[in-house]
């Protein structure tokens, strides 16, 4: 091998080696009948996973699960359930008190001032039906005004004068409920007043010790 250096400053070094021979031999045997066919690929070799890792992971999971169960048992015993003590309830209010309270709440709604006459009349009718049904023990909310009058007349639980007042009041209510008639503000106030009077006139007689509404 020799190295030659050029004379100029920008020259490069040139290296040469002595020639040598390479002997290339084939790995295919001469008597191989399938010498021109490629060798089929070998299947992948599986690596054995260390069993101690699986064992350790199983033990850790078991310990974690056991710790969670112990913690749940501990806290469940520590926390005491709150007892809901039922508050003493007084006797149920009579139907006339409920009706008068409902009429007072209806007046506070101010449907008449808002011009919501149908709402005012519908609610007044509902309150009266609920009261009459509880007072005289029949299904008044699902009955029409005519059916209510027939039941009251049949049971003979009130006077003819009261029946006439009930008929007149429900007639005024139904006129606004089921027609396009728009009442005056004073008419709506009068209906509410007549409903109160009907309740106080037909309520059960007060016993000794009861509070009047």
Q: Which residues contact 182 (CB under 8 A, 6 or more apart)?
A: 117, 176
Cα(44)–Cα(161) distance, integer angstroms: 107
Q: What is the mean pLDDT of residues 160-167?
A: 93
pLDDT for the residue 77: 74
Where does the pLDDT of residue 58 fall: very low under 50, low under 70, confident under 90, or very high at 90 and above? confident
Where does the pLDDT of residue 41 fall: very low under 50, low under 70, confident under 90, or very high at 90 and above? confident
- pTM, two decimal places: 0.56
pLDDT for the residue 161: 93
Where does the pLDDT of residue 102 fall: very low under 50, low under 70, confident under 90, or very high at 90 and above? very high
pLDDT for the residue 212: 43
pLDDT for the residue 118: 95
**Percent of residues, the chain, with pLDDT higher than 90:** 42
- Residue-wise pLDDT for 19-37, tens only, equals 777 777 777 777 767 666 7
Where does the pLDDT of residue 47 fall: very low under 50, low under 70, confident under 90, or very high at 90 and above? low
3-state secondary structure the chain: CEEEECCCCCCCEEEECCCCCCCCCCCCCCCCCCCCCCCCCCCCCCCCCCHHHHHHHHHHHHHHHHHHHHHHHHHHHHCCCCCCCCCCCCCCCCHHHHHHHHHHHHHHHCCCCCCCHHHHHHHHHHHHHHHHHHHHCCCCCCCCHHHHHHHHHHHCCCCHHHHHHHHHHHHHHHHHHHCCCCCCHHHHHHHHHHHHHHHHHHCCCCCCCCCCC
pLDDT for the residue 8: 55
């Amino acid at each position: 091998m020799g190295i030659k250096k050029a004379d100029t400053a920008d020259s490069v070094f040139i290296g040469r080696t002595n020639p040598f021979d390479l002997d290339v031999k084939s790995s295919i045997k001469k008597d191989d009948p399938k010498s021109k066919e490629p060798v089929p690929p070998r299947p992948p070799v599986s690596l054995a996973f260390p069993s101690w890792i699986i064992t350790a992971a199983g033990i850790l999971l078991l310990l974690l699960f056991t710790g969670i169960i112990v913690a749940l048992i501990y806290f469940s015993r520590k926390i005491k359930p709150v007892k809901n003590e039922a508050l003493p309830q007084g006797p149920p209010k009579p139907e006339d008190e409920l009706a008068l309270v409902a009429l007072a709440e209806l007046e506070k709604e101010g449907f008449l001032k808002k011009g919501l006459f149908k709402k005012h009349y519908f609610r007044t009718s509902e309150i009266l039906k609920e009261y009459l049904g509880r007072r005289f023990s029949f299904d008044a909310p699902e009955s029409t005004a005519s059916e209510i009058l027939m039941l009251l007349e049949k049971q003979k639980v009130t006077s003819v004068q009261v029946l006439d007042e009930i008929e007149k009041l429900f007639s005024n209510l139904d006129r606004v409920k089921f027609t396009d008639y728009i009442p005056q503000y004073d008419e709506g106030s009068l209906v509410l007043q007549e409903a109160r009077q009907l309740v106080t006139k037909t309520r059960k007689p007060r016993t000794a010790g009861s509070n009047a509404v």
